[in-house]
């Protein structure tokens, strides 16, 4: 994939040897919290055998206004024994905002930079200290209270990667309200569905955002979503708008792509509902006592795709999530006081929640918040920013690595990356070639590469190397984090001991695990605990090699992982079916060299409709509008009929084969009409 692989002969040697192991770099191991694998094993053993002692000692480093009233941990993973329930430190009172701000300031970190903010356009930047962040958060907490937001209320957020987003999250946490952040790339309809499901009374947004050279009017999308909510009889009472792009007063400067201010953005404010952030903040006091909440009170919900097509509101609670976010950040990135840490994920996804906001702040480190994209203004942007802030720990997605690789090494090597020590990846399996490029070109072969496996549901890393302790293999997430007991199960639920492959499950609870699906505990139990009673089922496949290393093989349900974002094929199908010309649709995952996976759709049209290039474009547009641009299918194929069993079930296994032009479709004897297969092969998208 790389243009100039030949300048890195090592790439060729390593790529095809999955068993080749990489030692933790000495300079990383020497100062690491965990310096040897034996030390990891010892800590791991205690974490799973005596969780209350292991996590109890960690919990002591946080402030608790009162102690747990019952057991430190109580859980039931077995539906046969009663409802699934997970509780850590129930009865203990705390506040995560207090722990990540007030407590750090008490420790003397008030003047330390909490965040360097790096805007979309190079040169547009600012920084905020712990003390300044604390003051902003207190003010916004008072703003929320003034708007009538109380403990337990849900507040939606649809925002760019700006400091105000972190302020809004922490303010919710400070007053015990629950944030529900919707990635600002979702459509108005997706936003509406999430606002309605969570019954949010308030939303925080911004006027707009530049994403690279592209301008998005976020407020207009929010207006549309809020109109829908009002139509449904559930109006949102307050909408707070950050003036991020539009200038106050007369903006006379010539508009430049990607740059602020931006004169062309039209914002309408609805009198009774919409308020400017800055106006509210100016009037607010910067004193706000934290609300002491129960360890098991909700902290946030975050929607993730579900196999049925309806997104699930994954609910996390305060106490367990706090210690898990802090502990995984500390050990997986080996965070120290002098680190400059940068996670490129958007806060709209779980990675941003745990590893842009809560985890790094809990460790009192300085981080970078990046508004832009890896390609703007060119493919060297990430490394320019690394150089600018002397980033030491860097965390990104394989899809970003793959997309940068094809631009060649020069975009990387022209910047100084000698500050880097740990390079993390997350979101999807990383192919060995991308792993080696990351290690060799970005990291100069001198950094620890940590491939961290986890999910929105798990709250934090569950399978990951530790930078100073674990020998890595390219493409393996290696071993379980503290408190995690993985197992691999066969289809009939038998544990695969030793080397083998199957369903990845977990046998016991850890503090950061989700507690329920918001408003639908039964769905929570069905999705994660019913297939294999007694286990939390990830929905991913994994294999264990001869040396015990774990390799994630990808989803084994109907979810597709596009550029690290999970999408449900059912959700894409229901968007397609809403188009007047479409009678039926089936979508499947298809390999993609940059995105990892993409979506390939088969559509059966209504009688009399013709399949044209234009219709294909329209259908792609429908998905963009219904779900969001990132969900747009790459391929849409005409399917006069779909391969179905006699009972009418679509055989997606066969569709996946057709999409990749693999004639070895396996057993077709259960199909109602086998001739469908040849027809579909003859009509497949030739470029796929
Ligand atoms: O399929 C796995 C994949 O991403 C899914 C979780 O997606 P989401 O909840 O959106 O959270 C993404 C960020 C944590 C998983 O079920 N996944 C995540 N990390 C990895 C991965 N697959 C392989 N290797 C990883 N490191």
Question: How far is Cα 656 from Cα 667, in angstroms, rounded to an integer?
Answer: 14
Q: Which residues contact 223 (CB under 8 A, 6 or more apart)?
A: 268, 270
Q: What residues does 589 pair with on adjacent strands?
A: 599
Task: Name the residue among 377, 371, 427 with its Cα closest to residue 402.
Answer: 427
Angle ∠(483,484,485) on CA atoms, nearest 5: 120
Q: Which of 428, 357, 417 is closest to 393 using CA atoms?
A: 417
| Pairing between β-strand 238-242 and β-strand 274-276 as defined by DSSP bridges | parallel
- Residue 10: predicted pLDDT: 43
**Measured from the CB, is residue 540 less than 6 Å from ligand 1?**
yes
CA–centroid distance, 231 to ligand 1, in Å, is 36
Provide the ipTM.
Answer: 1.00
Quote the pLDDT of residue 646.
86
409 CB near ligand 1 (under 6 Å): no
Angle at 350 between CA 345 and CA 353, to 5 degrees: 80
pLDDT at 251: 56
User: Where do the H-state alpha helices sit in 474-589?
Assistant: 521-529, 569-577
- How many angstroms is it from 197 CA to the middle of ligand 1? 24
Do 434 and 401 touch, CB atoms closer than 8 A?
yes
Tell whether ligand 1 has an atom less than 6 A from the beta carbon of residue 238.
no
Work out the angle at residue 67's Cα, subtended by the Cα atoms of residues 65 and 72, and round it to the nearest 5 degrees: 140
Residue 158 CB–ligand 1 contact under 6 Å: no
In whole angstroms, how far apart are CA 204 and each of 144, 159, 181, 279, 505? 10, 7, 9, 14, 37
* Any atom of ligand 1 within 6 Å of the Cβ of 452: yes
The DSSP secondary-structure symbol of 99 reads I
Protein residue closest via CA to atom 13 of ligand 1: 427
Distances (CA, A) of 528 to 120, 368, 536, 567: 38, 34, 5, 17
Burial profile 261-286: b = 16 or more Cβ within 10 angstroms, e = fewer: bbeebebeeeeebbbbbeebbeebee
Residue of 356, 400, 453 with the most ligand 1 atoms within 8 Å of its CB, for mutation: 453
| Atom 15 of ligand 1, residue of closest alpha carbon | 455
Q: Is the CB of 568 under 6 A from ligand 1?
A: no
3-state helix vs strand vs coil in the chain, percent to 5: 35, 25, 45
Angle (deg, nearest 10), helices 675-683 and 652-659: 30
190: helix, coil or strand? helix
Residue in this structure with the two tokens 């009472």, named with its chain if needed? 237
Pocket test for ligand 1, best of 564, 571, 630 (most atoms within 8 A of CB): 564
User: Does an H or E element contain 548, and which?
Assistant: none
* Nearest atom, ligand 1, residue 566 CA: 10
Q: Is 503 in the pocket of ligand 1 (CB under 6 A)?
A: no
Question: Can you tell me the distance from the alpha carbon of 95 to that of 328, in angstroms, rounded to the nearest whole number?
Answer: 19
Taking 70 as the pLDDT cut, the residues of the chain under it are 1-16, 249-253
C-alpha closest to that of 511 among 362, 318, 313: 318
For residue 648, what pLDDT is reported? Answer: 85
CA distances to 130, 141, 284, 291 from 281, rounded to whole Å, are 18, 10, 5, 20
Angstrom distance (rounded) from CA 103 to CA 99: 5
Burial of 74 (0-12, 13-18, 19+ CB in 10 A): middle
Determine if ligand 1 sits within 6 Å of the CB of residue 449. Answer: no
Instruction: Report the residue among 314, 355, 464, 566 best suited for mutation to probe ligand 1: largest number of ligand atoms under 8 A from its CB.
Output: 566
Sequence-distant (6+) residues with CB within 8 A of 193 are 311
Give the Cα separation of 196 and 214 in Å (integer).
29
Taking the whole predicted model, whether its pTM rises above 0.90 is answered as yes
Cα of first residue to Cα of last residue in the chain, in angstroms, is: 17
Query: Is 455 exposed, middle or buried, given 0-12, 13-18 or 19+ CB atoms closer than 10 A?
Result: middle
- Our answer on whether the CB atom of 426 is closer than 6 Å to any ligand 1 atom is yes
User: Quick one: pLDDT at residue 13?
Assistant: 44
Pocket test for ligand 1, best of 479, 561, 595 (most atoms within 8 A of CB): 561
User: Tokens standing for 279?
Assistant: 């106006």
């Amino acid at each position: 994939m790389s243009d100039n692989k030949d300048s890195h002969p090592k790439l060729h040697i390593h790529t095809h040897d999955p068993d080749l192991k990489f030692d933790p770099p000495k300079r990383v191991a020497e100062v690491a919290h965990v310096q040897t694998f034996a030390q990891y094993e010892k800590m791991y053993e205690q974490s799973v055998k005596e969780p209350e002692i292991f996590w109890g000692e960690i919990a002591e480093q946080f402030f608790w206004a009162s102690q747990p009233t019952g057991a430190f941990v109580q859980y039931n993973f077995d539906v046969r024994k009663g409802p699934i329930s997970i509780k850590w430190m129930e009865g203990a009172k705390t506040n995560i905002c207090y722990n990540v701000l007030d407590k750090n300031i008490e420790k003397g970190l008030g003047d330390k930079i909490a965040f360097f903010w790096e805007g979309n356009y190079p040169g547009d930047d600012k920084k905020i200290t712990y003390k300044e962040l604390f003051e902003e958060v207190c003010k916004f907490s008072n703003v929320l209270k003034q708007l009538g937001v109380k403990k337990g209320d849900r507040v939606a957020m649809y925002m760019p990667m700006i400091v105000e987003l972190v302020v809004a999250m922490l303010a919710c946490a400070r007053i015990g309200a629950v944030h529900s952040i919707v990635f600002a790339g979702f459509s108005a309809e997706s936003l509406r569905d999430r606002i309605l499901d969570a019954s949010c009374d308030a939303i925080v947004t911004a006027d707009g955002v530049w994403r690279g050279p592209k301008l998005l009017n976020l407020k207009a999308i929010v207006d549309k979503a809020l109109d829908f909510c009002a139509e449904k009889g559930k109006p949102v009472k307050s909408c707070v708008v950050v003036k991020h792009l539009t200038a106050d007063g007369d903006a006379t400067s010539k508009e430049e792509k990607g740059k602020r201010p931006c004169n062309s953005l039209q914002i309408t404010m609805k009198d009774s509902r919409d308020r400017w952030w800055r106006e509210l903040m100016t009037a607010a006091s910067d004193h706000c006592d934290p609300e002491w909440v129960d360890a098991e009170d909700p902290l946030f919900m975050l929607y993730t795709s579900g196999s049925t097509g309806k997104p699930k509101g994954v609910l996390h609670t305060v106490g367990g999530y706090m210690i898990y976010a802090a502990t995984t950040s500390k050990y997986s990135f080996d965070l120290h006081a002098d680190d400059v840490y940068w996670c490129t994920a958007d806060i709209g996804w779980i990675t941003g929640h745990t590893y842009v906001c809560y985890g790094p702040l809990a460790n009192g480190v300085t981080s970078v918040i990046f508004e832009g994209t890896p390609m703007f203004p060119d493919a060297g942007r990430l490394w320019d920013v690394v150089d600018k802030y002397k980033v030491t720990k860097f965390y990104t997605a394989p899809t970003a690595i793959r997309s940068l690789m094809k631009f060649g090494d020069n975009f990387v090597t022209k910047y100084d990356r000698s500050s880097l020590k740990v390079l993390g990846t997350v979101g999807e399996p990383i192919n060995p070639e991308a792993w080696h490029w990351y290690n060799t070109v970005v990291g100069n072969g001198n950094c620890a590469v940590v491939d961290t496996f986890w999910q929105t549901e798990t709250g934090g890393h569950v399978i990951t190397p530790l930078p100073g302790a674990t020998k890595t293999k390219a493409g393996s997430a290696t071993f379980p984090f503290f408190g995690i007991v993985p197992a691999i199960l066969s289809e009939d639920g038998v544990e695969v001991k030793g080397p083998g492959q199957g369903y990845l499950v977990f046998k016991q609870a850890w503090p950061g695990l989700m507690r329920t699906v918001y408003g639908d505990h039964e769905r929570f139990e069905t999705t994660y605990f019913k297939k294999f009673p007694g286990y939390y089922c990830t929905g991913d496949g994994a294999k264990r090699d001869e040396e015990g290393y774990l390799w994630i093989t990808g989803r084994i349900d109907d979810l597709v992982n596009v550029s690290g974002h999970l999408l449900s094929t059912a959700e894409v199908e229901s968007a397609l079916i809403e188009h007047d010309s479409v009678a039926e649709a089936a979508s499947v995952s298809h390999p993609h060299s940059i995105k990892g996976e993409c979506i390939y759709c088969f559509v059966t049209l209504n009688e009399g409709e013709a399949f044209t290039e234009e219709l294909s474009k329209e259908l792609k547009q429908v998905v963009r509008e219904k779900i969001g641009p990132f969900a747009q299918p790459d391929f849409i194929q005409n399917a006069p009929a779909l391969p179905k069993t006699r009972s009418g079930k679509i055989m997606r296994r066969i569709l996946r084969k057709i999409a990749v032009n693999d004639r070895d479709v396996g057993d077709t004897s259960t199909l109602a009409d086998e001739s469908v297969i040849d027809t579909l092969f003859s009509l497949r998208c030739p470029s796929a």
